[in-house]
Structures are given as structure tokens and as C-alpha cells.
């Protein structure tokens, strides 16, 4: 079977805030899209044989010194190119147009008038809404281009050269605030690039399993199984590919949620996949003693995980490979060539340099919603597919400051109440992630006519599609009231509950 990733759109990243969203929108059109740095050598771009190229937005101005750019030859490859926001300005600047600073920054919804009837806007006419976010604008189009859309404040909101198949928009078609944006992206992918839409989870599954078999060869692998949807999907996929040459290792590092070790073991028993259970609570807590800084916690946990897996690999014999459920958001937040490090995920930036096992990461370029879709394709039960996202370092990064057994006991019970109440309210599918956080503070309270000086618990609940961005969930007040009352009443050592109403960005979903 042909690899669905052969039908490829390359997205050149100039550091735009919506770059990952562009990739998701392309994939939603059943075309594989891969993000690469804008300075990727031309030879490497050409060797990938893309069907089309997209230039992302970015924070720079094209006329600044050392502004991100790319070789003119990209536009001469004969491959369709779509520039978005900064990508449009760069296209205009490099091809002989004129880019200037706008008289005022345009941000938010704008009404565009469409004048182009072919190419990007085929099937669209008249006026529609779009989302603008820019401080510069193209004032004169390059030779060979025509204006295809405009707004009151941006006379050149889109331009195109149908002969060379070069297209550009000043607005963002990838966001929901541009209601016809999907149509525009589909026009680019299908009508201009000639894509057929072969990127499905069924086709990906076949290609990924074949890739795993080729990578592992006749060797053996162990899988770092946490019981979450990512590692579970990776485990089942690889088990299908190489069978009993895979050993799934579930490490209880003492930082799991209430009842999680038992539920994970039972779920995989029903799937018919044997797992090795390792009780490593004491060694992880010993390593974490006194460690307060979040990145240090992640590095300690990541390194200790690898040490445990190495020991288990030696017990299993000649094991060369370690399977992980790494996702694309993990890679991005741990720092890529064009994305700043937000936090090191234990399975990416937290890995030790001297690790002898070779990584197998079949989900590395998937977003969370794609992983869930793949889980359905693999026949995983809904309880695993919709298991709450949970960081590999576990409760260690939901406890601010040093981790202790006493804090873990407090947080486990509080988190179980939050989880139970959300499910009881029937909101567990609508809310992307919900959990409790234990900050390193205590506050004064009154309980039973006596003064208390006890822990505060933070409740965090967010709505998201892929974890890259998130908005705080507007939970019903009576639900929040029940959570707070139960936590204070049922969890010893807690006298205050607060609710986090910060979105991502500027915050992250997790606190550490």
C-alpha cells in the first residue's frame, strides 16, 4: 500500500502562532502536512517532492535586518505555493512587489470582497468574513500577480499568479473566524495542487505498521506504557506490527492518579496484550526528594524512566528499541528549530543523552484528535480513547514545589473528586482536560470554629481540540460549588479551593 504521506504539503514555519493550526486544517482535508523550518535547504525541500508548499505567518517584518527569508528558487520549482500573512508579505517582497508598514495594525474580524473567481477563491463570490492579524501589508503586487480580494483597510488582502500557481492571503484561512477558510484551503489542495485526499487514519495505520516492521526488523522492543491514549495506541499499533516481540512495560512511579494502576492493568488484560508491571514508587520519590524546579523534575523523571526501561530490556534479553507515544505537541513544546521551548516533555527533552535504546515513535507527527481517531481504527475501547490526558511526570508536575508522599495523598483525593464530578455531570467528553493542582502555599481558614492553616487546591478545566491552544471551561457554578465543598470536606489538610480561568496562551494547560 502506498504511504499516504507521499501526497505531501510542506509547511515552512516562520514562527507564526497559527502554524500548527494550518497543518491541522490541511490534514482535516485528508492531505498529509509536515512542518519544517523556513531555512530548510532547497535541495531537501525538492527531494521531498511536495505537491504544494505553504508559507506560514510570523512576527517579523520583511524589511527588517535578518528577517526570515527563503531562496527565490522556491517559487521557481513549479510547485504551487500559498503564502499566509507574513508568507504573503515575503512573497510580495521577494518577487518584486512593495511591502510597507500599515497605517494601523489590523487585528480581528474583517469583511473581504472577493474579486478572483478562479484559483484560491473558486466557487466563492461577493463578500465574506476573515480574520486579520498584521502590522505590515503589500502595497503593490509583484509582476504577474493580480489582486483577488480586498478589505476597507487592506486593498490587497489576497493576490495570485495563476500561471505560476502562486497564491497569497493577508488574512488567516486556517482559523474558525474565517468561515470560508476551509473552502479556500481545499481549493489550494485539490484544485491547485492536485491532491487526492489519501491521508486517513486507516491508510496511516497500514503505513505506520510497515514502517515499524522495517525499523525493528527481526529485533525486539519494549513499550513505555502509561495507560493513556497516546501510549496505548502506540502499544497496540506496534503489537500488531511485530507481535510478541513487543513487551509493554507499565511503570508505577508513584505519581499516578487514584486507581490508575489497577484500571490500566485491567484494560490491557481485556485487550489481550500482556504487560510487565514495575513498582518503582520508592526509587522515583527518592530521586525527586527536594527537587522543586519544574524542568529539573521533568529531567529527573525522564532519566529515571529510561533507567527502569533499560533494566527491563536487559531482563527481556536482546531488546534494542523503546516505543513511546510521543505526539507532535510534545515535540513542539519541548522546543523545535522554529518554536521556543515551553517545557521539556519527559519523553522528548527529558531523555538522557546516554540512552542506549533506539526510539520508535509511530505517533510523533500526530495531534491528539488524530490519535483518538487512530485508536478507533485499532478497535480500542472508548474508556482508553477518552482517558484524560495525563503528563508522563504525573502528579509531580501538578504539585508545585518539592514532591512528598503527604502532598501526593492530598492531590490524588482532590483530583479524584474533580474527575468524578465532571463525569457525573456528563461533561467528560466536552471538557478536554480537567484536574486538580496543589500549589506550594497554605492559607488561613476556619473549620469547626477553629483556625486552620492548610493547603489550597486549584481546579483546572479547559476546552481544546489538539492541546496546542485551550480556553478555560465555563463549568456550571453549582458543579464548581459541589467540587469545592467535597474537597474541603473529604480531603484532610485542605481549607480552600480556587478555579483557574486562564487560557492557553498565555498560560499552559498544566501548571508546570
Residues 353 and 429 in one domain: no
The pLDDT confidence band at residue 467, using thresholds 50, 70 and 90, is confident
372 in any annotated domain: yes
Residues 39 and 94 in one domain: yes
The pLDDT confidence band at residue 417, using thresholds 50, 70 and 90, is very high
The pLDDT confidence band at residue 466, using thresholds 50, 70 and 90, is low
What is the model's pLDDT at position 502? 94
Q: Which long-range contacts (CB under 8 A, 24 or more apart) does 306-310 make?
A: 306/351, 306/352, 306/355, 306/357, 308/249, 308/251, 308/278, 308/280, 308/283, 309/222, 309/224, 309/249, 309/251, 309/357, 310/355, 310/356, 310/357
Residues 123 and 167 in one domain: yes
Q: What CATH number should be reported for the domain holding residue 96? A: 3.40.50.880
Instruction: Report residue 404 as a C-alpha cell.
Output: 512528598
Residues 225 and 329 in one domain: yes
508 in any annotated domain: no
The pLDDT confidence band at residue 448, using thresholds 50, 70 and 90, is confident
Whether the predicted pLDDT of 352 surpasses 70: no
Whether the predicted pLDDT of 91 surpasses 60: yes
pLDDT in tens, 263-296: 888 888 888 888 999 999 999 999 999 999 999 9
Residues 218 and 79 in one domain: no
Residues 176 and 323 in one domain: no
Whether the predicted pLDDT of 343 surpasses 50: no
Among the three residues 162, 192, 222, which one is the final residue of a domain in this structure?
Answer: 192
The pLDDT confidence band at residue 348, using thresholds 50, 70 and 90, is very low
The pLDDT confidence band at residue 332, using thresholds 50, 70 and 90, is low
Q: What average pLDDT does this structure show over 37-66?
A: 93
Domain span at residue 416? 404-499
What is the model's pLDDT at position 314? 87
Whether the predicted pLDDT of 369 surpasses 90: no
391 in any annotated domain: no
In this prediction the pTM is 0.74
504 in any annotated domain: no
SS3 269: helix
42 in any annotated domain: yes
What is the model's pLDDT at position 328? 77
Residues 270 and 373 in one domain: yes
The pLDDT confidence band at residue 431, using thresholds 50, 70 and 90, is very high
Instruction: Report residue 194 as a C-alpha cell.
Output: 492536485
Greater model confidence, 341 or 400:
400
Whether the predicted pLDDT of 4 surpasses 80: no
212 in any annotated domain: yes
pLDDT in tens, 122-173: 999 789 999 887 678 899 999 999 999 998 888 999 999 999 999 999 999 9
What is the model's pLDDT at position 341? 43
Residues 307 and 271 in one domain: yes
Whether the predicted pLDDT of 225 surpasses 70: yes
Whether the predicted pLDDT of 499 surpasses 60: yes
Whether the predicted pLDDT of 228 surpasses 70: yes
Short-list 279, 287, 271, CA closest to 249: 279
Residues 326 and 473 in one domain: no
Whether the predicted pLDDT of 89 surpasses 50: yes
Name the percent of the chain lying above pLDDT 90: 63
Whether the predicted pLDDT of 178 surpasses 80: yes
Short-list 235, 234, 398, CA closest to 301: 398
Catalytic residues: 85, 172, 174
Choose the weakest-confidence range: 357-361, 405-409, 434-438: 357-361
Among the three residues 385, 413, 428, which one is the final residue of a domain in this structure?
Answer: 385
Alpha-carbon gap, residue 80 to 93, rounded angstroms? 18
Whether the predicted pLDDT of 243 surpasses 50: yes
* Element housing 47 (H / E): helix 42-47
Q: What average pLDDT does this structure show over 311-332?
A: 84
Q: What are phi and psi of 462, to 5 degrees?
A: -135, 155
Short-list 101, 194, 178, CA closest to 139: 101
What is the model's pLDDT at position 401? 95
Instruction: Report residue 104 as a C-alpha cell.
Output: 494601523
| Most confidently predicted of 169-183, 213-227, 389-403, 480-494 | 480-494
What is the model's pLDDT at position 340? 45
What average pLDDT does the chain have? 89
Please count the structural domains in the chain.
3
Q: What CATH number should be reported for the domain holding residue 324? A: 3.40.50.620
Among the three residues 334, 354, 385, which one is the final residue of a domain in this structure?
Answer: 385
- Contact between 473 and 434 under an 8 Å Cβ cutoff? The reply is yes
509 in any annotated domain: no
What is the model's pLDDT at position 288? 96
Residues 155 and 18 in one domain: yes
Residues 359 and 214 in one domain: yes
Q: What CATH number should be reported for the domain holding residue 483? A: 3.30.300.10
Residues 33 and 171 in one domain: yes
486 in any annotated domain: yes
Amino acid at each position: 500500500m502506498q504511504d499516504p504521506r507521499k501526497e505531501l504539503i510542506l509547511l515552512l514555519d516562520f514562527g507564526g502562532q497559527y502554524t500548527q493550526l494550518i497543518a491541522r486544517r490541511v490534514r482535516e482535508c485528508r492531505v498529509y502536512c509536515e512542518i519544517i523550518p523556513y531555512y530548510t535547504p532547497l535541495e531537501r525541500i525538492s527531494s521531498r517532492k511536495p505537491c504544494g508548499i505553504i508559507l506560514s505567518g510570523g512576527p517579523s517584518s520583511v524589511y527588517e535586518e535578518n528577517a526570515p527569508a527563503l531562496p527565490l528558487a522556491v517559487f521557481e520549482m513549479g510547485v504551487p505555493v500559498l503564502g499566509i500573512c507574513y508568507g504573503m508579505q515575503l512573497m510580495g517582497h521577494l518577487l518584486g512587489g512593495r511591502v510597507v508598514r500599515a497605517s494601523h495594525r489590523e487585528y480581528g474580524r474583517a469583511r473581504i470582497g472577493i474579486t478572483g473567481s478562479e484559483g484560491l477563491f473558486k466557487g466563492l463570490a461577493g463578500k465574506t468574513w476573515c480574520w486579520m492579524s498584521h502590522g505590515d501589508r503589500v502595497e503593490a503586487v509583484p509582476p504577474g500577480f493580480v489582486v483577488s480580494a480586498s478589505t476597507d483597510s487592506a486593498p490587497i488582502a489576497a493576490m495570485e499568479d495563476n500561471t505560476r500557481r502562486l497564491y497569497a492571503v493577508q488574512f488567516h484561512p486556517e482559523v474558525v473566524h474565517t468561515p470560508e477558510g476551509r473552502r479556500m484551503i481545499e481549493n489550494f489542495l485539490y484544485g491547485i495542487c492536485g491532491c487526492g485526499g489519501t491521508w486517513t487514519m486507516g491508510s496511516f495505520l497500514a503505513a505506520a505498521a510497515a514502517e515499524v516492521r522495517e525499523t525493528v526488523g527481526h529485533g525486539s522492543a519494549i513499550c513505555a506504557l502509561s495507560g493513556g491514549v497516546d501510549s496505548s495506541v502506540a502499544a497496540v499499533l506496534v503489537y500488531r506490527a511485530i507481535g510478541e516481540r513487543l513487551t509493554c512495560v507499565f511503570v508505577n512511579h508513584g505519581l499516578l492518579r487514584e486507581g490508575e494502576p489497577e484500571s490500566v492493568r485491567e484494560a490491557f488484560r481485556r485487550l489481550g496484550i500482556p504487560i510487565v508491571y514495575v513498582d518503582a514508587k520508592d526509587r522515583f520519590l527518592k530521586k525527586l526528594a527536594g527537587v522543586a524546579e519544574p524542568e529539573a523534575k521533568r529531567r529527573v523523571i525522564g532519566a529515571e524512566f529510561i533507567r527502569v526501561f533499560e533494566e527491563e530490556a536487559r531482563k527481556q534479553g536482546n531488546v534494542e528499541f523503546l516505543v513511546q507515544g510521543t505526539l507532535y505537541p510534545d515535540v513542539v513544546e519541548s522546543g523545535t528549530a522554529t518554536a521556543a521551548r515551553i517545557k521539556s516533555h519527559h519523553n522528548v527533552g527529558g531523555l538522557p543523552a546516554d540512552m542506549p535504546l533506539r526510539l520508535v515513535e509511530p505517533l510523533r507527527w500526530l495531534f491528539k484528535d488524530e490519535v483518538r481517531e487512530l485508536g478507533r481504527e485499532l478497535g480500542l475501547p472508548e474508556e482508553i480513547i477518552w482517558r484524560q490526558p495525563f503528563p508522563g511526570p504525573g502528579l509531580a508536575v501538578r504539585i508545585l514545589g518539592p514532591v512528598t508522599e503527604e502532598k501526593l495523598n492530598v492531590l490524588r483525593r482532590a483530583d479524584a473528586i474533580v474527575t468524578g464530578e465532571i463525569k457525573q455531570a456528563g461533561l467528560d467528553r466536552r471538557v478536554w482536560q480537567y484536574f486538580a493542582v496543589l500549589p506550594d502555599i497554605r492559607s488561613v481558614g476556619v473549620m469547626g470554629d477553629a483556625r486552620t492553616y492548610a493547603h489550597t487546591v486549584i481546579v483546572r478545566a479547559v476546552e481544546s481540540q489538539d492541546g496546542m491552544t485551550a480556553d478555560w471551561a465555563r463549568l456550571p457554578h453549582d458543579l464548581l460549588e459541589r467540587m469545592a465543598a467535597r474537597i474541603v470536606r473529604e480531603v484532610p489538610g485542605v481549607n480552600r479551593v480556587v478555579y483557574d480561568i486562564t487560557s492557553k496562551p498565555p498560560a499552559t494547560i498544566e501548571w508546570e
